[in-house]
A and B are shown apart, each in its own frame.
Chain A
C-alpha cells in the first residue's frame, strides 16, 4: 500500500462506526496514517476520539468498518492479539499498575513478545532465563527518553510516582512493547507548560526512532507544533483533515469548537 508521497500506510481506517444504543459515537470515520508520521486527532469533548482509539486497540468492537495495520485486518481480533500485531497505546486517565514497581510496569510492555512461562521460571530453564534477561534489558532501552526522570524510580511502586512520571512510565511501557503504531491518548493532559514542551520533544524523538504516532490532544498549540497532519472530529464524524495550518482556519472546525455565532462573527 503506497501513498502519493511514497510512504507505507501503517494504519488505515475505513467506515469505522460504533453505536452505543441510540448514540452513534463514531460515524463512518476514515483515516490513514503513514509510516513515520505524527497525526493528531482533535475535537471537542465527547466527539468520539477516545472511542476511535478503543476501537483500534480492541477495547471496543466496532459496529461496522475496518481497521488495517500494515494491511492486516484488526477488527474482530481480541485486544491482546492487536497489541501483538504492533499497536501500543497509552490512556487518557493514566492506567499504570499502581502496586507494581516502575520496572515491572515497563516489563509488562515486553509481555507479548517475551517467551517466559510458568514451568520455565520454576525449573530455571535456560530459554526462560534468557527471555527474562532480554525483557529486563529492554526496560533500559525503553526508558532511554525518560532516563533522568525514571531511572532512579525504577524500583518504586507506581502509585508513589508523580502525575507526570506516571505518564512517562505509561509511555515507556508502550515503547517496551516495540510497537509499529503508537496511540497516545492526551499525552500532555494535566501537565504544566514546561512538561508540555518536554512531551512535544518526546513525541518527536519517538517519531525519529521510526515510530508512527497517532495521538489525541486537546492542547492546540502542542498539536499545531508537532503534527504532520491533523484530523478533526465532532459528534463522531470527521469534519476536517489536513495540514495543521489548513485545519486551523477551517470554518467548520472553528464552529465545532465555539459554536455557530463565533464562526460567523
Chain B
C-alpha cells in the first residue's frame, strides 16, 4: 500500500471505515469489552425503565415486557450455545434442544417433591452439569466419529427419543415383558411435566436482588449467564481451542494435518454447548417452577436454529440480535394478529435472500458449503482420493508438456 493510500485510509471517518470492514469487522468491534460491558449494564436497567413507565404513565405492560426480555436473554444464551457447536465447530446438532430439556428435568428431579429431593443450588448445578456431560458423551463418543450428515441424523433421533422418554416415563418402563421398577414409579410426570419445582433460594438480605419481583430476578440471572457465556465464547474464540474448532469447520483434513485431534475438539465443543444449554434449562425450570415437555420439542430446535442463522453463524453479537428479533418480533407485530407470522416469515425470507450469511455472519449457508462446510469438509478424504485420479486440465497438460519437454530437449534450461 502506498503512503498516499494509507493517508486516505486514515482520513476516512472511523464509522465509515467500520462500515466498510464488513461483517468480520463489525463482529470484532461489537465483541470488544468496551461495547459488551456497557451493553449488559444498560440491559440490566431495563426492569427499572419499565417500572418508571408503569409508575409515571400508567403503562400496564411492565411485568409482561420484563418476562419477554427474560425470554430473550434465555434464547440468546441458547443461540450462543448452538452457535458454539454449529457456528464454530461446524457440527450439525439437530437434537440440541434435548440438552435444554435434560437440564430442566435434571434440576426438577433434584429440586421438587417428584423424588422428594431439595438440593442446594450449587449441588443442583453440579448435578445438572454432570447429567448434561454424561448425555453428551453417550451421544458424542459414538456419533462424532461419523460424517456430518450422519451426525445430524443421530442427534435428531436423540432429540426425538428424549422427548418420547419424558412423555412415557410417568410409568415404569417395560422391556420385553419385564417391568423395570416398582408399580408406582413416576420419574418425569409424563405429559403433565414436573410441577412445583423450587426456585433458587435468594437471600432476602441481598441489596436489590433480595426484594425484586420474581421475573426481574430471573431476567437478571439469565442476563448474567448470557454475559458469562459471551465471555467464555470470546475467550475460547481468541485462543487455541477456538482456532482448532474453526479450523475443523473450515477444513477438517488440513486441521488434522496441523496436529488437531479433531475428535477430541468436536467432543469438547459438543459437551460445552450441552452444558450451557442444560444450565439454561435449569434456570428456566426454576423461573417457571416446572419442567414441561412442550418446552422443548422439535419446533424449539428450529426456532433456535432460525435465531443463529438469522444473526449469522459463528457471530456472538449476531446470536444475541437474532434471538432478540425472533423473540420480540411476534409481540411487536401483535396488532396485526392474524398476519403477524406471515410478516415475520416474510422478514426472515427477505433477510435470507439478501444476506444468506445472516446479519453478522461471515460463513455463507449455500449448499456447497452447508453449515460452514460440515458436510463437504467431512468428506474431504474422499475428495483427496478422487484428486488422485489423473484428471488433467488443459493448463496442467501444458505444464506437463513443458516439464517433460524441458527434461528431454533442454537440459540446461534454467529457472
A79 to B404, Cβ gap below 8 A? no
The answer to whether B388 and A51 have CB atoms under 8 Å apart is yes
In the complex where A50-B388, A111-B259, A225-B414 touch, is A121 in contact with B235 (Cβ < 8 A)? yes
Which residues of chain A from 103 to 140 have a CB within 8 Å of any chain B CB?
Answer: 104, 107-114, 116-118, 121-122, 128, 131-132, 135
| Beta-carbon contact of B363 and A99 below 8 Å | yes
In contact, A121 and B363 (Cβ under 8 angstroms): no
Are A221 and B413 also in contact (CB < 8 A) when A20-B385, A116-B240, A121-B240 are? yes
A29 within 8 A of B: no
Q: Is A100's beta carbon under 8 Å from chain B? A: yes
Q: How far is the CA of A123 from the CA of B290 in the complex (A)?
A: 34
A238 to B257, CA, bound (A): 25
Given contacts A20-B388, A80-B256, A122-B236, 11 further A-B contacts (CB under 8 A): A48-B388, A51-B388, A80-B262, A83-B259, A99-B246, A108-B243, A108-B247, A113-B259, A173-B258, A219-B403, A222-B415
Residues in B with CB closer than 8 Å to A173 are: 258
A100 to B243, Cβ gap below 8 A? yes
Q: How far is the CA of A93 from the CA of B231 in the complex (A)?
A: 37
Fill in one digit per residue for B246-269: 1 if any A CB lies within 8 Å of its CB, else 0: 110011011111111110000010
Number of interface residues of A (CB under 8 A): 70
A171 CA / B392 CA spacing, docked (Å)? 25
Q: Tell me the complex Cα distance, A50–B272, Å.
A: 37
A89 within 8 A of B: yes
Instruction: List the B side residues contacting A177 at CB < 8 Å.
Output: 258-259
Inter-subunit contact B407/A83 (CB<8 Å): no
A104, B381: Cα distance in complex, Å? 24
Task: Give chain B's interface residues, CB within 8 Å of chain A.
Answer: 1, 24, 231-232, 235-236, 238-241, 243-244, 246-247, 250-251, 253-262, 268, 272, 314, 362-363, 381, 384-385, 387-390, 392, 396, 399-400, 402-404, 406-408, 411, 413-415
- Bound: A254/B408 CA distance, A: 7
User: How far apart are the CA atoms of A187 and B415 in the complex, in Å?
Assistant: 15
Shortest Cβ distance from B395 into A: residue: A190
4 smallest beta-carbon distances between A and B, as pairs: A112-B259, A46-B390, A83-B259, A95-B254
Q: Inside 8 A of A96's CB, which chain B residues have their CB? A: 251, 254
A107 touches B243 (CB 8 A): yes
Within 8 A of B (CB), among A44-103: 44-46, 48, 50-51, 54, 57-60, 78-80, 83-84, 88-89, 91-93, 95-100
The smallest C-beta distance from B95 to any residue of chain A, in angstroms, reads 23
- CA–CA, A100 and B247, complex, Å: 8
Once the chains bind, are A46 and B362 in contact (CB under 8 Å)? no
Cα–Cα, bound, A111→B255 (Å): 10
* A257 adjacent to B407 (CB under 8 Å): yes
CB distance from B247 to the nearest CB of A (A): 5
Q: Are B404 and A84 neighbours in the complex by a CB distance under 8 Å?
A: no
A256 (CB) vs chain B CBs: closest residue? B404
Query: With an 8 A cutoff between CB atoms, is A193 at the interface?
Result: yes
Q: Give the residue name and chain of the B residue nearest to A119 (CB).
A: B241
